[in-house]
Amino acid sequence: MTKLKMTVNPDNRKSHINKEIYGHFSEHLGRCIYNGFYVGEDSEISNKNGVRTDIIEALKEIKIPVLRWPGGCFADEYHWKDGIGEKSQRKKMINTNWGGVVEDNSFGTHEFMNMCEELGCEPYISGNVGSGTVQELSEWIEYMTFDGVSPMAELRRKNGREKPWKLKYLGIGNENWGCGGNMRPEYYADVYKRFQTFCKNYSGNELYKIACGPNASDYHWTDVLMANINSWQARAISLHYYTMPGDWNSKGSATDFTTEAYYRTIFRTRFIEDMIIRHAEIMSKHDRDHRIGIAVDEWGGWYDVEPGTNPGFLYQQNTMRDAIVAAVNLNIFNEHSDRVVMANIAQCVNVLQSVILTEGEKLVLTPTYFVFKLFRDHQDATLVDSYIEPYNIGNEGEKFQAVTKSVSVDQNGDMLITLANCSIDEDIDLDISTGSFTASDVSAQILTGEVHAHNTFDSPKNVEAVEYQGVKLDSNSVSVCLPKCSVVSIKLKKQ
Ligand code: AHR
C-alpha cells in the first residue's frame, strides 16, 4: 500500500475561510425552485410558507451560509415586480433559457427572502443587467432594504412585509459575456459602474457588490474589468467554472462513465486552482492591496441530463465521483481563501451537481451533500499551512496529486483536516504530523463507495457519511488509512 507523509504547520496561519465558500445556488431552472424548494402552501408535502420542511432541515444541518437567486441566465430576464403581490395576479412569462416552460412568478422576492430567513443564511441576489434597467434594479434594492418612507418601501408594506430584509450580497449581472448580454468587458465595465452607482445602502444595510467576472480561463475579461473598476465599486468579481468530462455537445453520463472519464473529470476539476491563481495575479496588478475578492458563484460537475428528462431542466444524478469533485473544489477554495471570498455550488436542488434530489414527496441526499457535511466546520475557521508529499495518478498526460487536503483551526483551537483520496483503485496510508499542535482526542467521518455509487429514491442510503475508526492519534501525529475513492474529515480536539 502507498504510504504518504503530510505535515501541518499550525503556527503558519494563512487566511480566514469565509463561511460563504460553502454557499449554494438556486435558479428558476427545471425543478430547482418549483417542485424542488417550493411546492406551494397547499401541497400535501410538509412545508413552511410553501417551502419543503425536509429541504430546510437538510440545509440547516450543513449550515448553508448563503444562497444565490434567481439565476443564472434567468436573472437577466427576470423582472422582480412580476413576482410580488397577490399570487393570482402575478404575470406569467416564458422561461426562454430553461425548457420554454411557463413561469408563473409564484416564487418571488418575499418567498425567497423569507426562505433565507428560515434557513438562517444570507440571501445573494443576482440583479438583471442584461434586459433590465438601472431604475428597476435600484428600486429592487429600495424595496428590500429601505426602512423609511418611499414608494418602494410602501409597496413592500402593502405586500405584507413591514420591516425591510437585510441584503448583503448583490451580483450586478450574470455571465454578461454570454447569456447576460454578450458584452465586451470594456462595455460591461461601464455598464457595471452605472448600475452599481444606483444600488444604494439604505437604513444601515451595506451591500457587498459583485461584478460579473470571467468565464473560466478568460483572463482578458479579468484584466479589462479590473483595469476599469475599483474596490469602492466592487467587493468581488465572479468566476464560473463547470467540470465536464466531455464537451458541450456530449458531456458524458452522470452515472455510466469509464475509469478514463473519471480521471479526466478530476483532472479538469483541479484546473480551477490554476485559474484562481492566474486570475488573482492579474487582479493584483490592478488591486495591489487585494481588496477585491473572487466569488466562484457557479461551480460543479455538468453532465448529460438523466435519460428521459427535459434537456432544458439539467437534471442529473450524483455519484461518488461528484463527492470527489466537491471535495477537490472545496479543498482548493479553502487553500485560496485569501482570495476566494465565496463559492456557490450549482445548483442546490434537482439541477446539475445538487446536494438534494426530490421526486414527489421523496427526497435523497446526494454524496455531494455529505461532503458539505464533512467540511462544515471549516466555515469561519482559519486556514493553516499544510503539505503532502507528491504522488500522482490519472490518465497519461493528465496526472495530478492523488490526495487533496486542507486544514483549519476554529475559534476553540480545534483542528479540522479534510482529505480526499482521488484514486479509485488504491488505498493510501497517510502519516500526518501536526507540529506544535497537541491533540487530546480524535474523531473522524468518512464517505466512501464504489465510484459509480449513488443514492436513488428506491435506495436512498447507498452512500452516506459514517463515523470512521481508521484513524490513530499519537498526540502530535495522526495516521489514517484513506480507502480508494474516499473523503475523510478528521477533527482533532486541542489539548
Ligand atoms: O447553472 C446553469 C447555468 O450555467 C446558469 O444559468 C448560467 O449562469 C451558467 O451558464
Nearest to residue 251, comparing CAs of 272, 270, 266, 265? 265
User: Per the confidence metrics, is the pTM higher than 0.95?
Assistant: yes
Please check whether residue 393 is in contact with residue 87, taking contact to mean a CB–CB distance below 8 angstroms.
Answer: no
pLDDT in tens, 422-470: 999 999 999 999 999 999 999 999 999 999 999 999 999 999 999 999 9
Query: What is the CB-side half-sphere exposure of residue 260 using CA atoms within 13 A?
Result: 4
Placement of cell 414608494 in the chain = 151
Burial of 226 from C-beta contacts in 10 A (0-12 / 13-18 / 19+): buried
| Mean pLDDT (the chain, rounded) | 98
Query: Is the confidence at residue 188, as pLDDT, over 90?
Result: yes
Test site for ligand 1: of 179, 244, 303, 349, most ligand atoms within 8 A of the Cβ: 179
Q: Starting at the edge strand that comes first in sequence, how are the strands of the sheet with 466-467 ordered?
A: 466-467, 439-448, 486-494, 415-421, 403-409, 382-388, 2-16, 428-433, 477-482, 471-474
Please check whether residue 394 is in contact with residue 400, taking contact to mean a CB–CB distance below 8 angstroms.
Answer: yes
Per-residue confidence band for 475, with pLDDT thresholds at 50, 70 and 90 = confident
Q: Is 287 in the pocket of ligand 1 (CB under 6 A)?
A: no
Q: Is 175 in the pocket of ligand 1 (CB under 6 A)?
A: yes
Please check whether residue 94 is in contact with residue 85, taking contact to mean a CB–CB distance below 8 angstroms.
Answer: no
Per-residue confidence band for 67, with pLDDT thresholds at 50, 70 and 90 = very high
pLDDT value for 69? 98
pLDDT in tens, 34-66: 999 999 999 999 999 999 999 999 999 999 999
Q: In the CATH scheme, what is the code of domain 16-379? A: 3.20.20.80
pLDDT value for 304? 98
- Domain residue limits, the chain: 2-10+384-494, 16-379
Query: Is the confidence at residue 1, as pLDDT, over 90?
Result: no
pLDDT in tens, 196-237: 999 999 999 999 999 999 999 999 999 999 999 999 999 999
Cα(360) to centroid(ligand 1), Å: 25
The pLDDT of 91-110, averaged and rounded, is 97
Query: Is the confidence at residue 186, as pLDDT, over 90?
Result: yes
What kind of architecture, by CATH, is found in domain 2-10+384-494?
Sandwich (2.60)
Tally of CB atoms within 10 A around 414: 18
Per-residue confidence band for 308, with pLDDT thresholds at 50, 70 and 90 = very high
Q: Is 30 in the pocket of ligand 1 (CB under 6 A)?
A: no
- Residue 398 known to be catalytic: no
Looking at the chain, the whole-number percentage of residues with pLDDT higher than 70 is: 100
Q: What grid cell was written down for 451?
A: 465510484
Catalytic-labelled residue, pool 27, 111, 273, 298: 298
